Amino acid sequence: MTAPSEKPIAIVTGAAQGIGLGIARALALASHRVMMADIDQDRLGQSARAIQAEGGEVVPQPLDVTKPDDWDRALATVGARWGGLDVLVNNAGISPRGTAESTDLALWDLTLAVNLKGAWLGAKSALPWLKKSRGVILNIGSTRSTRPMPGLFSYVVSKAGLWGMTRQLAVEYLHAGVRCNMIAPGWVDTANERLLQARHGRPDFPAGVSNLTTPEQVGAAAVYLASPAARTISGVILYLDSGLHVADEAGMVFFPESRALPFPQRIDEA
Ligand SMILES: NC(=O)c1ccc[n+]([C@@H]2O[C@H](COP(=O)([O-])OP(=O)(O)OC[C@H]3O[C@@H](n4cnc5c(N)ncnc54)[C@H](O)[C@@H]3O)[C@@H](O)[C@H]2O)c1
């Protein structure tokens, strides 16, 4: 970590809204200096100003996680401004619908580029700094990282890949003192998740969802995993889904009646 007298430095991707905003805010209010990175510059500016108004030290950074040049610029900026990096949070992600057959090449490429390649590019750019600070990488996965669901083909594959990347990084950088963990939420009440659920027949989401997680709770998990208290934790997946990942719900797809129900009513989504 950065010298104890100094505030640790973090980059959070997809920080303009939703879970990324919750993580950036939680880290900033827990005395981190946070670069908030996102492709959506307008919203990013508004969100950064809101955290600054609460006393958080944050800076907005336009960044498309799929673009190596954007990462170079972001790391150069964080280095020039604050002189180091302690925490990288790979949160930016998209969750398009589609089966193995209905997913076309463009959708596959986009999902894998944002959800998987983006996290690798982030890690690749940040690791030279993280090795100096013995820092932390947090990847935001999903219950779907380990529990597939019909109709989320490219998403599930990308998030499972991100879990593999998490473990690979944990092992590859163990001796360098860099930790890498995954936070895997179930449903999180974000504006975009509401839109998505409404589009798929649940206009009242999140009403009735009993295992709803908030962006603040994901932020609290990130603060803990980034802290010295978690210094022996690496290569783990921390589910924030009230146990959905251990429930036997996925077995329901083998019941005959599940074929009669149209997706997505067939099985709950995360
Ligand atoms: N909301 C949920 O229920 C839920 C559940 C499990 C996991 N997740 C995961 O959490 C993460 C955040 O989800 P959310 O619900 O907050 O999403 P969101 O759509 O509310 O926010 C995602 C942010 O990422 C940004 N983004 C998209 N593409 C980008 C790119 N190429 N480069 C940089 N930024 C980009 C968007 O502009 C947006 O600000 C995702 O990885 C998602 O898969 C969400």
Q: pLDDT (tens digit, 9 = 90+) per residue, 238-269?
A: 999 988 888 765 555 566 665 555 544 434 44
Q: Please state the domain count of the chain.
A: 1
- Protein residues with CB under 6 Å of any ligand 1 atom: 13-14, 16-20, 38-40, 63-66, 91-95, 114, 140, 142, 185, 187-188, 190, 192-193, 270
Pocket probe mutation, ligand 1, options 11, 12, 19, 158, max atoms within 8 Å of Cβ? 19
Please write the tens of the pLDDT for every residue from 115-137: 999 999 999 999 999 999 999 99
Can 155 be counted among the known catalytic residues? yes
pLDDT of residue 18: 98
| Domain with 162 in it | 9-243+255-259
Residue 156: closest CA among 181, 190, 184: 184
What are the pLDDT digits (tens) for 59-117?
999 999 999 999 999 999 999 999 999 999 999 999 999 999 999 999 999 999 999 99
Question: What's the pLDDT at 269?
Answer: 43
**CATH number for 15:** 3.40.50.720
Answer yes or no: is 1 within a domain. Answer: no
**Exposure pattern of 37-74 as b/e (b: 16+ CB <10 Å)?**
bbbeeeebeebbeebeeeebebbbbebbbbeeebbeeb
Q: pLDDT tens digits for 178-233?
A: 999 999 999 999 999 899 888 888 888 888 888 899 999 999 999 999 999 999 99
Q: What is the pLDDT of residue 265?
A: 43
How far apart, in Å, are the Cα atoms of 101 and each of 7, 8, 152? Answer: 49, 45, 11
34 within a domain of the structure (yes/no): yes
Report the alpha-carbon distance of residue 75 to residue 81 in Å, rounded: 10
Classify residue 266: in a domain, yes or no.
no
Residues 22, 4, 224, 167, Cα dihedral to 10° = 100
Residue 2 is assigned to a structural domain of this protein = no
